[in-house]
Amino acid sequence: MKVRIISLLRSALLLGLGLGTTLTFAEKARSQPGLQPLSLYWSSERGDNFTTATEAGARAAQAAGYKFVRIEACVLPSQQPGTVPLNLYWNSERGDNFTTATAIGERSAQAAGYSYAETVGYVFPQQQSGTIPLKLYWSSARADNFTTGSTDGAADAIGSGYQAVRVEGYAYPASQCSP
């Protein structure tokens, strides 16, 4: 009888009935392949950090002379319940890429003359189990916005005189996606 009950419970879980056991969306996303690397590129000519998770963004970065630095975090490639778009903006006067997932970030970008370029992925607006903050830093000397999820990125920003602005959203650590 005990074996039969365990078999029924296993079947119910496999069929998605849950029986009181439900995974949060963050747990489901971690258990699924398909997280996209949020890659950091750097242009020493422009003094610009550029984070993207799309092939088009990577090609554009490389074509403009940016060099790959590291994977900052992992983002979802499509919108899921409880996530928001991580959008890339571009300002040709400043030569600056700006990646943001907050309403204040979008308003700030538009007010400063940035144009929407693309959605690079999706992140959580609040911390979920297993996620890390994507932090925005600003350098007035370089007129550069820098969004990072790694401790190396934060250390580089602070070491280069950038000021912390806000958390843009929450993504998965770089170790959870493959390039």
User: How far, CA to CA in Å, does 41 sit from each of 71, 78, 99, 125?
Assistant: 9, 22, 12, 24
What's at 138, amino acid-wise? W
pLDDT, one tens digit per residue, over 31-60 is: 445 899 999 999 999 999 999 999 999 999
Rounded to an integer, the average pLDDT of 1-20 is 35
- What pLDDT does 10 receive? 35
Tracing tokens 């790694």 back to the chain, one arrives at 150
pLDDT, one tens digit per residue, over 105-157 is: 999 999 999 999 999 999 999 999 999 999 999 999 999 999 999 999 999 99
pTM of the model: 0.81
Backbone angles phi, psi at 131, to 5 degrees: -105, 165
DSSP-derived 3-state class of residue 21: coil
Mean pLDDT of the chain: 85
